């Protein structure tokens, strides 16, 4: 009989490399929001995967790339923080993108090379989105470059979306986990509080409802969360913040139609998540300059 294993696994990579998709795939349900837009994952979201022999806490992170501004600084800190509190590092990148643009690889992935190589932890590189690479020979230069960047790593061609190759990577992770007792009950799926997950669901529906011109300058704050155990109901109020009044109009939509749609979709998903009836009230408020306001960033869970 081997000992129980427990550990933290940091998922690091550029925006849109598929970190949240891979974590959700392993957990068999959506814990982190997934979207084709970068910067969907802002905070460090964890997902807990338990079985009879091990418990893994995945640390999903915002994408790592060169960015400016306070919010972006917080996003980067969140990612480095995950690296330093992890036992194992999984680096992801979009192989389909680099298969067609291999000359961009060194530059785009540069921020991930030194910190990862110097981490002293086992490094697994997930060469993701192989389902999108029709001509597999296109992967060879990509693999070669990646091997030169992370010489001590092991490489796993995967499709996080379809699940191809994901089991092989998971077995590897499990084998490399340190011995230790589980830190969480085996039915707990995330270390993130439910109210935060609810705010994330609202943010996802908001993203989905708006066109490409949507500013990334939106945030969701849960204003109240009132449980009514007798009716098995929770009454949730949330504020959507944006930086400009014309954005407010876009979010609300003609006759309030867009906001209503966001509300219905978010409520349905939060009900599934909580296994409880939900009443959801949404407001939209303009708050200029919030992406540079440290106090506000903290209040929505970004930064220290
Ligand atoms: P993150 O920013 O790294 O967390 O990336 P997401 O998980 O949010 O994924 C970004 C986009 O890539 C989403 O539209 C995903 O559906 C898509 N995606 C992720 N993994 C794969 C994959 O293996 N294959 C394909 N075709 N798309 C993927
Ligand atoms: K994304
Ligand atoms: Mg993400």
28: exposed, middle or buried (Cβ count in 10 Å: 0-12, 13-18, 19+): exposed
Which contacts of 111-120 are long-range, i.e. CB under 8 A and separated by 24 or more positions? 111/64, 111/65, 111/66, 112/12, 112/13, 112/14, 112/64, 112/149, 113/149, 113/150, 115/80, 115/83, 116/12, 116/83, 116/89, 116/91, 116/150, 116/153, 117/150, 117/151, 117/152, 119/83, 119/84, 119/89
CATH topology of domain 5-176: Rossmann fold (3.40.50)
CATH topology of domain 194-299: GMP Synthetase; Chain A, domain 3 (3.30.300)
Give the whole-angstrom CA distance, residue 27 versus residue 7.
15
Q: What's the alpha-carbon Rg for the chain, to the nearest Å?
A: 20
- What pLDDT, on the 0 to 100 scale, is given for residue 304? 46
Atom 25 of ligand 1, residue of closest alpha carbon:
129
Which ligand approaches the C-alpha of residue 14 most closely?
1
Give the whole-angstrom CA distance, residue 146 versus residue 116.
13
Q: Of 11, 12, 13, 18, which is best to mutate to test ligand 1, by the most ligand atoms within 8 angstroms of its C-beta?
A: 18
State in Å: Cα 42 to ligand 3 middle.
8
State in Å: Cα 32 to ligand 2 middle.
10
Atom 6 of ligand 1, residue of closest alpha carbon:
18
Counting as low any pLDDT under 70, the low residues of the chain are: 1, 29-44, 63-76, 211-216, 301-304
Nearest to 198 by CA among 271, 247, 143, 127: 271
Q: Which residues line ligand 1 (CB under 6 A)?
A: 13, 15-21, 34-36, 40-41, 63, 128-129, 131-132, 159-161
Q: Of 34, 37, 131, 139, which is best to mutate to test ligand 1, by the most ligand atoms within 8 angstroms of its C-beta?
A: 34
State in Å: Cα 9 to ligand 3 middle.
15
State in Å: Cα 230 to ligand 2 middle.
39
Atom 18 of ligand 1, residue of closest alpha carbon:
18
Is there a common fold for 5-176 and 194-299? no
Residues near ion ligand 2 (CB < 5 Å) are: 16, 35, 40
Nearest to 42 by CA among 66, 10, 71: 71
Asked whether the ipTM of the predicted complex exceeds the cut of 0.90, the reply is yes
- Are 232 and 278 a contacting pair, CB within 8 Å? no
Could you tell me the residue ranges of all domains in the chain? 5-176, 194-299
State in Å: Cα 21 to ligand 1 middle.
6
- What pLDDT, on the 0 to 100 scale, is given for residue 269? 92
- What pLDDT, on the 0 to 100 scale, is given for residue 299? 72
- What pLDDT, on the 0 to 100 scale, is given for residue 185? 85
């Amino acid at each position: 009989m081997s000992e129980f294993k427990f550990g933290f696994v940091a998922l690091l990579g550029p925006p849109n490399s598929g970190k949240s998709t891979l974590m959700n795939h392993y957990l068999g349900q959506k814990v982190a929001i997934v979207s084709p837009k970068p910067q969907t994952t802002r905070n460090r979201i964890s997902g807990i995967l338990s079985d009879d022999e091990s418990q893994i806490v995945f640390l999903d992170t915002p994408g790592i790339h060169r960015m400016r501004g306070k919010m972006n600084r917080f996003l980067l800190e969140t990612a480095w923080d995950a690296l330093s509190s992890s036992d194992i590092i999984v680096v992801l990148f979009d192989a389909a993108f680099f298969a067609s643009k291999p000359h961009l690889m060194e530059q785009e992935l540069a921020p991930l090379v030194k910190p990862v190589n110097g981490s002293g932890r086992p490094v697994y590189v997930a060469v993701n989105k192989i389902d999108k690479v029709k001509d597999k020979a296109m992967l060879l230069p990509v693999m070669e470059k990646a091997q030169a960047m992370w010489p001590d790593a092991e490489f796993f061609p995967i499709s996080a979306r379809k699940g191809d190759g994901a089991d092989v990577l998971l077995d590897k992770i499990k084998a490399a986990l340190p011995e230790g007792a589980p830190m969480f009950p085996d039915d707990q799926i995330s270390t993130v509080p439910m109210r935060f997950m609810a705010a994330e669901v609202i943010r996802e529906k908001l993203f989905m409802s708006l066109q490409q011109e949507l500013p990334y300058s939106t945030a969701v704050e849960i204003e109240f969360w009132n449980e009514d155990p007798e009716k098995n109901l929770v009454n949730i109020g949330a504020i959507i913040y944006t930086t400009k009044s014309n954005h407010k109009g876009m979010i609300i939509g003609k006759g309030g139609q867009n906001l209503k749609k966001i509300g219905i979709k978010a409520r349905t998903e939060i009900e599934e998540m909580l296994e409880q009836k939900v009443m959801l009230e949404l407001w939209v408020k303009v708050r200029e300059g919030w992406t540079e306001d440290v106090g506000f960033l903290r209040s929505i869970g970004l930064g220290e």
